[in-house]
């Protein structure tokens, strides 16, 4: 972890709002993404993300820095917030349409459209998974956390995380409508038939 | 295309910049100006603190005052099980006596009692139950004509005879 972040965390724990603001800037995008991929609605995801940071600020004095990334702690709060959100809202949320602006950086419009469709499929499949499987896929493959970081964020052992990741990817592939492959897994490189 | 590659694309998802900035400002404002305490907060806080202090004081007083649950445990442990059993047996006997007094034995019972020299008591609906006393109460029976000539026999003896 960079020394700068250690310093920010220590200052935030001592109650420095500016330091916490810097941590907010640093971690807001990934916490928002984590929630958005699980919730699927922009406004609700933004509100929940805000609540996560408010809660983090209220409890930051209790935070004990043990060398793990600050983000792991935030992910834990985010996971609990999402669970609470689903408890309070039992109705099924409709899938939001894929935001076209998200991929406007793609040079080729046709490629961007095709990619957008594929990603919509992935997001839909992702949201059909169990919460644990969603968490591990987002943390490991979207946010690209290490096994150790993901294990700390999920409160599991590294071995358990590897096993969970394997199962989650298998489940994800089952729910995809379009043929995709999984790297590094010879059993899963066969393309899925169209459903 | 590989799933891993597709998933990495999801990293492009971002919240709206203006909303993010607005929430950041809101967060920092709250952080710099923590919520002021209201009278309600003060009262609730005082009540909670007061309850905790009072409970602590009561516990300290009890401990210093020599309160010990062992005293009560000793009392319970000092009970005589044999005495209790004897008392329970005596209560059972009284119940049997009451039943015997009012029970209609029928023909067989009457003959048996007659054979023992014990006659069936005349029906006395308003007769009170024998007073509770010692367990070995004596049954005195009367004939229909009011003669009190039958020899007295204890209940234990009568029951013993009936059992043969």
Q: For A13-23, how does the pLDDT look when each residue is reduced to its tens digit (9 = 90+)?
A: 888 889 999 99
> What is the reported pLDDT for B48?
79
Is the pLDDT reported for residue A40 higher than 90? Answer: no
Is the pLDDT reported for residue B143 higher than 50? Answer: no
**Chain A / chain B CB contacts < 8 angstroms:** 100
Domain boundaries, chain A: 3-88, 100-188
What is the arithmetic mean of pLDDT over B52-69? 82
Tokens describing residue B30? 């709250």
Query: Class for domain A100-188, per CATH?
Result: mainly alpha
- Confidence band for B97, pLDDT divided at 50, 70 and 90: low
The answer to whether the CB atoms of B13 and A33 lie below 8 A apart is yes
The answer to whether the CB atoms of B14 and A32 lie below 8 A apart is yes
Q: Nearest to residue A171, comparing CAs of A138, A134, A116?
A: A134
> What is the reported pLDDT for B137?
44
Considering only the beta carbons, identify the residue of B8, B16, B26 that sits closest to A141.
Answer: B8
pLDDT, one tens digit per residue, over A148-167 is 999 999 999 999 999 999 99
- Confidence band for A189, pLDDT divided at 50, 70 and 90: very low
- Confidence band for B95, pLDDT divided at 50, 70 and 90: low
Query: Which option is the CATH number for A3-88: 2.40.30.10, 3.50.30.60, 1.10.1740.10, 3.40.190.10?
Result: 1.10.1740.10
Distance from CA of B17 to the nearest CA of A (A): 10
Distance from CA of B35 to the nearest CA of A (A): 11
Q: Nearest to residue A77, comparing CAs of A58, A47, A42, A53?
A: A53
DSSP assignments along A83-99, one per residue:
HHHHHH--SPPPPPPP-
Task: Enumerate the residues of chain A whose CB falls inside 8 A of the CB of residue B5.
Answer: 183
Is the pLDDT reported for residue A136 higher than 90? Answer: yes
Higher local confidence (pLDDT), B95 or B47? B47
pLDDT, one tens digit per residue, over B120-136 is 545 555 445 444 444 44
Considering only the beta carbons, identify the residue of B4, B11, B14 that sits closest to A183.
Answer: B4
Cα gap A138→A99, rounded to integer Å: 18
Is the pLDDT reported for residue A69 higher than 90? Answer: no
The answer to whether A180 and A195 are in contact (CB under 8 A) is no
Higher local confidence (pLDDT), A180 or A60? A60
The answer to whether A190 and B10 are in contact (CB under 8 A) is no
Contacts of A163 (CB under 8 A, 6+ apart): none
């Amino acid at each position: 972890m960079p020394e700068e972040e250690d310093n920010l965390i220590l200052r935030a724990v001592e109650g420095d709002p500016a330091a916490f603001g810097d941590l907010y800037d640093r971690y807001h995008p990934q916490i928002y993404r984590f929630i958005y991929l699980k919730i699927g609605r922009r406004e609700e995801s933004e509100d929940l993300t805000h609540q996560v940071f408010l809660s983090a600020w209220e409890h930051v004095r209790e935070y004990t820095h043990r060398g793990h990334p600050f983000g792991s702690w935030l992910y834990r709060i985010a996971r609990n917030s999402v669970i609470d959100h689903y408890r309070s809202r039992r109705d099924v949320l409709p899938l939001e349409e894929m935001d076209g602006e998200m991929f406007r950086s793609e040079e080729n419009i046709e490629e961007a459209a095709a990619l957008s469709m594929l990603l919509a499929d992935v997001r839909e499949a992702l949201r059909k998974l169990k919460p644990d499987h969603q968490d591990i896929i987002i943390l490991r493959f979207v946010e690209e956390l290490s096994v150790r970081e993901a294990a700390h964020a999920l409160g599991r052992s590294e071995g358990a995380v590897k096993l969970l990741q394997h199962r989650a990817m298998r489940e994800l592939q089952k729910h995809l409508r379009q043929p995709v492959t999984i790297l590094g897994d010879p059993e899963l490189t066969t393309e899925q038939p169209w459903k | 295309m590989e799933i891993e590659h597709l998933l990495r694309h999801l990293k492009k998802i971002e919240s709206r910049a203006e909303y993010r900035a607005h929430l950041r400002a809101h967060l920092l404002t709250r952080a710099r100006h923590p919520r002021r305490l209201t009278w309600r907060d003060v009262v609730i806080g005082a009540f909670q603190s007061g309850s905790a202090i009072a409970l602590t004081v009561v516990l300290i007083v009890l401990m210093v005052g020599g309160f010990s649950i062992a005293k009560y445990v000793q009392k319970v442990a000092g009970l005589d099980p044999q005495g209790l059993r004897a008392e329970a047996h005596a209560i059972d006997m009284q119940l049997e006596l009451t039943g015997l007094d009012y029970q209609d034995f029928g023909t067989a019972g009457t003959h048996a009692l007659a054979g023992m020299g014990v006659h069936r008591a005349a029906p006395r609906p308003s007769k009170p139950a024998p007073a509770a006393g010692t367990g070995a109460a004596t049954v005195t029976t009367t004939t229909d004509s009011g003669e009190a000539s039958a020899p007295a026999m204890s209940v234990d003896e009568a029951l013993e005879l009936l059992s043969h």
